């Protein structure tokens, strides 16, 4: 559909051509979003078309993002799409996690099944496609891990030059390895995510960089497809709740926008409620929603869940709007709660990285405070793959994990590896226990 870039601030209302390279409103500094300028969507035939595309061998149809291209702002530019067959992530029932959380039933949508291992691929395919559409060669992002791996892969697939900025020492090896392997120029800086993002934003014009952090509205557009696919997989029956971790709040913004568009165009009649979960030491949005005062960033965010170690989330105004529109809630959870929930998700045979596990920890808390009811229909989004933070996993299971303050995290669901002698009889005896 035809679209423009519109200022998210209601009182500003400025709009700009979709091909302008801007990340904030040039008039008021507000966030930007892609907004459709036409209203010609017919839900029923589109539902059928999208379902039929699942059996197609065409690249765009096979992508779990571009399959839904009618609701993406790339009209006439689909031939430029850069796809690694992202999306197509499963809905997984998890009885043990449901029981732990206090629910009758719980479904995970696992974005860790994406090509580079996280939901970032849903957004990056669109962000990099926009870079190609604009004729940009040099793309960059700041990242605590997943964004860098995703951007490096998609940029290299498109023949662009990726530059990755990372907080030195605060990125998982697996993710750093991906960025290097996919050929990104990788710059490590002694500063945290928020500080580096401010630095790179000021550098973007000077260094001819197209910025691919989630402030880029096309990333948000791609991440809408997580919701499109989720509802398509449920035959367009919305759950009562969609639970997700919150860091920079790009996903919260994308999910809310997707749901509003689906309601506006008649795909769904009911809005699920969004529940955003933050880590206790990195919870500026939670505090803001609790007090409803001024938005205060957390200067030194702390959590082992590095993906959500973000103290100054750029998308908070959008997230506020989406939480309000969906009658949503924001909760925070401790390091211990995240670690235990993560082990339980592992025991379901599913597994995820630490930030993703905040969802189950949050559900347990929201059940405890009767905000979510046990019989409600809940989908939690696992944002990243279990292999993201292997050190964390090993330390948890061997009782060595410590929170950022150096306090031990108890391994309530630990699974220690055991050293045994090279002796069948002795091993058989051990296995009897």
Q: Which residues bind ligand F0G (CB under 6 A)?
A: 118, 120, 143-147, 214, 245-251, 307-308, 310, 353, 355-356, 383-384
From first CA to last CA, the distance across the chain in angstroms is: 63
Cβ closest to ligand F0G, residue 1 vs residue 254:
254
Closest approach, Cβ 278 to ligand F0G, in A, equals 9
Closest approach, Cβ 307 to ligand F0G, in A, equals 3
Taking each helix axis as running N to C, give the angle between helix 316-325 and helix 284-291, from 0 to 180 degrees, rounded to the nearest 10: 50
Asked whether 252 and 315 are in contact (CB, 8 A), the reply is yes
Closest approach, Cβ 362 to ligand F0G, in A, equals 13
Cβ closest to ligand F0G, residue 308 vs residue 378:
308
Closest approach, Cβ 3 to ligand F0G, in A, equals 21
Closest approach, Cβ 261 to ligand F0G, in A, equals 18
Q: Write the DSSP symbol of residue 78.
A: G
Cβ closest to ligand F0G, residue 132 vs residue 212:
212
CA distance 228 to 296: 33
Closest approach, Cβ 190 to ligand F0G, in A, equals 17
Cβ closest to ligand F0G, residue 251 vs residue 303:
251
Closest approach, Cβ 310 to ligand F0G, in A, equals 6
The residue written with tokens 């609790």 in the block is 290
Q: What is the 3-state secondary structure (H, E, C) of 370-411?
A: CCCCCCCCEEEEECECHHHCHHHHHHHHCCCCECCCCCECCC
CA-CA-CA-CA torsion sign (37, 42, 43, 48): negative
List of residues 6+ apart from 390 with CB closer than 8 A: 172, 174
For the chain, helix, strand, coil in percent to 5 are 40, 15, 40
CA distance 263 to 55: 26
Q: By three-state DSSP, how is residue 99 classified?
A: helix
Closest approach, Cβ 214 to ligand F0G, in A, equals 6
The Cα angle at residue 222 between residues 219 and 226, in degrees rounded to 5:
125
Cβ closest to ligand F0G, residue 162 vs residue 245:
245
Cβ closest to ligand F0G, residue 129 vs residue 143:
143
Cβ closest to ligand F0G, residue 132 vs residue 197:
197
339, β-bridge pairs: none
Cβ closest to ligand F0G, residue 62 vs residue 192:
192
CA distance 5 to 19: 8
Cβ closest to ligand F0G, residue 224 vs residue 265:
224
Cβ closest to ligand F0G, residue 249 vs residue 283:
249
Closest approach, Cβ 178 to ligand F0G, in A, equals 11
For the chain, the farthest-separated pair of C-alpha atoms sits apart, in whole angstroms, at: 77
Instruction: Count other C-beta atoms under 10 Å from residue 199's C-beta.
Output: 14
Cβ closest to ligand F0G, residue 83 vs residue 143:
143
List of residues 6+ apart from 271 with CB closer than 8 A: 238, 259, 260, 263, 325, 326, 327
Closest approach, Cβ 55 to ligand F0G, in A, equals 30
DSSP for 147-212, written as a single string: HHHHHHHHHHHTT-EEEEEEETT-S-HHHHHHHHHTT-EEEEESS-HHHHHHHHHHHTTTTTPEE-
Closest approach, Cβ 192 to ligand F0G, in A, equals 11
Asked whether 314 and 248 are in contact (CB, 8 A), the reply is yes
């Amino acid at each position: 559909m035809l679209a423009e870039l519109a200022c998210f601030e209601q009182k500003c209302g400025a709009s700009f051509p979709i091909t302008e390279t801007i990340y904030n409103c040039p008039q008021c500094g507000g966030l930007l979003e892609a907004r459709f300028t036409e209203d010609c969507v017919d839900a029923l035939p589109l539902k059928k078309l999208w379902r039929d595309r699942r059996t197609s061998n065409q690249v765009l149809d096979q992508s779990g993002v571009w399959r839904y291209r009618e609701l993406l702002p790339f009209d006439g530019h689909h031939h430029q799409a850069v796809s690694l067959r992202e999306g197509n992530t499963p809905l997984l029932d998890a009885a043990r996690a449901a029981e732990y959380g206090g629910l009758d039933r719980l479904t995970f949508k696992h974005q860790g099944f994406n090509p580079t291992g996280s939901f970032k691929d849903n957004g990056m395919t669109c962000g990099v496609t926009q870079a190609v559409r604009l004729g940009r060669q040099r793309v960059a992002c700041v990242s605590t891990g997943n964004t860098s791996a995703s951007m490096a892969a998609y940029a290299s697939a498109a023949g662009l030059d990726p530059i990755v900025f990372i907080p030195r020492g605060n990125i998982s090896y697996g993710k750093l390895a991906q960025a290097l392997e996919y050929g990104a120029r990788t710059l490590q800086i002694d500063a945290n995510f928020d500080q580096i993002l401010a630095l790179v934003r000021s550098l973007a014009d000077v260094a001819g960089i197209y910025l691919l952090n989630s402030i880029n509205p096309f990333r948000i557009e791609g991440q809408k497809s997580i919701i499109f696919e989720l509802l398509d997989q449920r035959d367009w029956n919305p759950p009562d709740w969609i639970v997700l971790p919150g860091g920079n709040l790009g996903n919260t913004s994308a999910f809310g926008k997707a749901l509003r568009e689906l309601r506006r165009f008649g795909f769904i009649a009911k809005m699920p409620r969004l529940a955003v979960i933050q880590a206790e030491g990195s919870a500026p949005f939670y505090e803001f929603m609790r007090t409803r005062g001024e938005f205060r960033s957390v200067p030194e965010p702390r959590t082992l869940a590095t993906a959500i170690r973000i103290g100054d989330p750029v998308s908070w105004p959008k997230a506020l709007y989406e939480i309000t529109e969906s009658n949503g809630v924001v909760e925070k959870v401790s390091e211990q709660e995240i670690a235990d929930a993560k082990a339980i998700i592992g025991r379901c045979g599913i597994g995820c990285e630490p930030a993703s596990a905040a969802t189950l920890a949050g559900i347990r808390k929201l059940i405890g405070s009767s905000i979510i009811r046990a019989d409600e229909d809940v989908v939690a989004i696992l944002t990243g793959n279990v292999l993201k933070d292997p050190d964390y996993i090993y330390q948890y299971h061997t009782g060595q994990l410590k929170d950022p303050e150096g306090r031990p995290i108890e391994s309530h669901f630990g699974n220690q590896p055991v050293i045994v002698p090279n002796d069948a009889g002795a091993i058989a005896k051990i296995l009897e226990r």
